[in-house]
Amino acid sequence: MKNSFTEENYLKAIYKLSERDELVTTTDIATMLDIRAATVTDMLKKLAVKKLIRYERYKGLSLTEKGRAIGVKIIRKHRLWELFLVQKMKFRWDEVHEIAEQLEHIQSDELINRLDEMLGFPKADPHGDPIPDKNGVFGKTRTIPLSQVKPKVVSVVAGVIENSNTFLQYLDKIGIAIGDKITIHAIEAYDQSHRISVNQGKEVFISESVAKNILVVGK
């Protein structure tokens, strides 16, 4: 058990890529981790030896159960820490990612389970991304972009698609956060911009692209 950070980061990246596509490629991983493909190839061999992935030269790879479990666990820890930072330490949701990148590698099942409990066994992190339970199982709350909600229907913000700091800060500025109730009053025909209100408050305008990037709980 040496510096398990690197290995954990690979497995997390591979898990995330697996969500889109079962078969993951060397280049995808290299891109996500911002390292060279040659480096990835080396690591893949090591992960395969440890039975964390199934890997065949030139053929892509997939996670084994063991590998998946580690990947999911890192994601669980990352998201619980993010929520902790926002709810208990009063950070804004656009400030927590980097710190959680570090905290996700802390080894202590006991700690992470107590954190889970302290936060009330939450289902989603401050960005709306789902948090798996201690067995690695994701509850399945369906979310849809705000842009697909009909006018006059009240919906609840569950997360975002675009996850950049600038976008999150923008939402912060116009006063939209997870859990807020949004009502669409009208959609401008010429540019599809939305006139909405947040928690029955005063109305604000958001562009179509913003509406597409806000996730709300679907029915």
Site residues for its own copies per CB under 8 A: 3, 85, 88-91, 95, 98-99, 102-103, 105-108, 110-111, 114-115, 118
Could you say whether residue 18 binds DNA (CB under 7 A)? no
Q: Are strands 181-187 and 154-160 parallel, antiparallel or unpaired?
A: antiparallel
Could you say whether residue 114 binds DNA (CB under 7 A)? no
CB under 5 to 8 A by kind: which of its own copies, DNA, none does 138 bind? Answer: none
Give the span between the Cα atoms of 130 and 117, in whole angstroms. Answer: 16
Beta bridge partners of 156: 181
Q: Which is nearer to DNA, 19 or 56 (CB)?
A: 56
Q: Which is nearer to DNA, 55 or 84 (CB)?
A: 55
3-state SS record for 151-177:
CCCEEEEEEECCCCHHHHHHHHHHCCC
Q: Cβ of residue 100: shortest distance to its own copies, in angstroms?
A: 10
Give phi and psi for 85, each to the nearest 5. Answer: -65, -40
Q: Which residues bind DNA (CB under 7 A)?
A: 2-7, 25-28, 35-46, 55, 57-60
